[in-house]
Amino acid sequence: MDVLIEKLQIADAEELYRFELENRSFFEKMVPTRGDDYYRPEIFKRRHVALLDEQAQGGSNFYLIKDKNGSILGRMNLVDIDKSKKVGHLGYRVGQVHTGKGIASMALKLLLDISENKDIKQIKAKTTTNNIPSQRVLEKNGFVLRAYGDDEFEMNGDKLKFVYYSWDKGLSCH
Is the distance from CB of 169 to CB of 120 less than 8 angstroms?
Answer: yes
Q: CATH class for domain 3-168? A: alpha beta
- Report yes or no on whether pTM surpasses 0.85: yes
CA distance 145 to 152: 18
What's the burial of 76, exposed, middle or buried (CB within 10 Å: 0-12/13-18/19+)?
A: buried
Looking at the DSSP bridge assignments, the partners of residue 147 are: 164
Per-residue pLDDT of the chain (174 residues; tens, 9 = 90+): 789 999 999 999 999 999 999 999 888 877 777 888 889 999 999 999 999 999 999 889 999 999 999 999 999 999 999 989 999 999 999 999 998 999 999 999 999 988 876 788 999 999 988 888 999 999 999 999 999 988 878 777 888 899 999 999 876 555
CB 87 within 8 A of CB 123: yes
Q: What pLDDT sits at residue 115? A: 81
Tell me, what's the pLDDT at 28?
Answer: 81
Cα(81)–Cα(89) distance, rounded to whole angstroms?
Answer: 7
End-to-end CA gap in the chain: 19
